[in-house]
Amino acid sequence: MSALRRREPVFHPSAPPAPAERFATDGPTPPGGRRQTAARPAASREPSTFFPDDEQLLATVRSRVAAVAPEPGTPDGVPAARLVAEIRAAAAAQGRILGAGDLSAAVEQVRDHAWGLGPLRGLVEHPQVTDLLVNGDGSIWADSGRGLRPVAMAFSSPEEVRLLATRLAAACGQRLDESRPWVDARLPGGIRLHAVVPPAAPEGTHVSLRILRPGRFDLDHLVRSGALPGIWAEVLVRVIERKLSFLVTGGTGAGKTTLLAALLGKVASHERIVLVEDVAELCPAHPHVVRLEARHANVEGRGEIRLDELVRQALRMRPDRLVVGECRGSEVRELLSALNTGQEGGCGTLHANAATEVPARLQALGGLGGMPPASVRLQAAAALEAVIHLRRLPGGARQVCEVATVCRGDGEEFRILPALSVSDSEVPGEHSAAPGEQGPSGRAAAEGSPSGSWEEFEAGSAARPRTGPGWPALARRLGCSAGDLP
């Protein structure tokens, strides 16, 4: 539609993506290629030619249905029969007659462009896209597991981007305007939305979408893809079986949630897992999972549900495993207290640049909860037993690069000692394989898996990680000897 302008493509949201076009490199559109504005997966119906380039017709339908009184229990509050009637009338005014297929597709597109994701829907449905970013200038960037790349389409004006952000915020029951210039919420279907508008974003409205792909990875899959050496997987499974309390750390988009969900899938089936999250992201393959989710205040400033309060409530729900999806505020106080009062096997994720920076991060977060630094150090040293760190390589691939143990030092200090690690010199090549292509180890990436999401290890030193000074202490906690890992 006219709200999009065409630009030189790098990522092509084709449907279905041909192997050679899934992640096209910089340069002109491939011969015979076509820049698209609304991709669909292979299983979806091809979009009708009725609406994509007719902004006037779309605006006519939108203005007509805007006057319709909302009807509870109907999508977007608009009765389907009324929407169909308005589309027929708008088409008839232009001398068009719609068949059943075109009418159904037109209804879908009107809902998308008037109330939903609009032209981003095709990108959201692309099976390999995990993050979508729309900038204030209208440009669109997508991450399909190999780093951010510009998409072969863009919004034509800042007003269109703001309209999209406001529409999505309203779908989450949130307000987005100058008085409240940002929103962090979850869209129906589990898409995580963040948007910020002027004056907080002087260059225009910015929209960030994180698309969850539940059930894609388990621990065995990570081993098969080479993201995790098999001997490391044995150690991590033992961490779960021995009910060690641990943190999964790393930067944004490093794969913390994916790895934590895979580890929780190894928890014994008779155990009860209680998840506490700001936005629901963890989807462990486990038969007994209870989820608690925080909530932001509504447009009236009411209804807020805080993470720290949810952690306290979770302790009253008889959890065998208490999991805090992401520790980023005062809830770390409740988590550390819980792990020090008999809650074995608790875990969570934490943003950190390295495992050794966990003490500083915990002290900073504890301060938000009113905990003095000395108290944080003592509580953390007694509560935590292991840290698993991930990183994202320059090419966009994720990699489990370190397993560390928590030790109490002299006085009130506690230290993070590397137990298993991969040095920078042992990192495989930056460029990972797309589906059907060979990775650094010579193995072809699996079809249907997110290409480049998890780096393959070389058959040499990286596949046999080195041990560090913390391995003897971690081995004792795992019930094995330090010599068990070659």
How far is it, in rounded angstroms, from Cα 305 to Cα 319?
20
Tokens for 306?
């805080």
What CATH class is the domain 4-210? alpha beta
Is residue 352 within 8 Å of residue 250, measured between CB atoms?
yes
Are the beta carbons of 184 and 206 closer than 8 angstroms?
no
Q: Which CATH class is domain 219-484?
A: alpha beta
Contacts of 477 (CB under 8 A, 6+ apart): 242, 244, 385, 386, 405
Residue 53 CA to residue 49 CA, distance in Å, equals 8
Contact 452, 465 (CB under 8 A): no
Q: Per residue of the chain (486 residues), what is the pLDDT tens digit?
A: 445 554 444 555 544 333 323 333 333 333 333 333 333 333 333 333 444 445 666 667 766 665 555 444 444 446 677 778 878 887 788 777 777 777 777 777 776 666 678 778 888 878 888 889 999 999 999 988 777 889 888 888 888 899 889 888 887 878 888 888 998 888 876 788 999 999 999 999 999 998 876 555 788 888 887 778 778 898 999 999 999 999 999 988 788 888 999 999 999 999 999 999 887 788 888 999 999 988 877 767 778 888 888 888 999 999 999 998 888 778 888 888 888 877 899 999 999 989 999 999 999 888 888 889 888 888 898 889 999 999 887 776 778 889 999 988 776 678 899 999 886 544 443 333 333 333 333 333 333 333 334 333 333 334 456 888 999 999 999 988 766 664
Instruction: Rounding to the nearest 10 degrees, give the CA dihedral for residues 45, 51, 53, 58.
Output: -140
Query: Does residue 11 contact residue 133 with C-beta atoms inside 8 Å?
Result: no
Q: Return all residues near 49 (Cβ < 8 A) that are at least 6 apart.
A: 102
Query: What are residue 11's DSSP bridge partners?
Result: 151
Strand-pair category, 246-250 with 273-277? unpaired
Query: Whole-angstrom Cα distance, residue 162 to residue 428?
Result: 41
Cβ neighbours, 10 Å, residue 16: 15
Dihedral sign for Cα atoms in the order 351, 357, 360, 362: positive
Tokens of 448: 């249907």
Contact (Cβ atoms closer than 8 angstroms) between residue 112 and residue 106:
no
Residue identified by tokens 């249907």 is 448
Sheet arrangement for strand 192-196: 4-5, 148-155, 139-143, 131-134, 206-210, 192-196, 182-186
Where are the chain's structural domains?
A: 4-210, 219-484
* AA identity, residue 359: P
Rounded CA-CA distance 135/203 in Å is 9
- Which residues have a Cβ under 8 Å from the Cβ of 54 and sit 6 or more positions away? 1
Q: pTM (2 decimals)? A: 0.69
Taking the C-alpha atoms of residue 391 and residue 250, their distance in angstroms, rounded to an integer, is 6
Using CB atoms within 10 Å of the CB of residue 393, give its burial: 0 to 12 exposed, 13 to 18 middle, 19+ buried. Answer: buried
Q: Are 447 and 433 in contact (CB under 8 A)?
A: no
The single-letter DSSP state of residue 451 is T
Q: How far is Cα 355 from Cα 418, in angstroms, rounded to an integer? A: 8
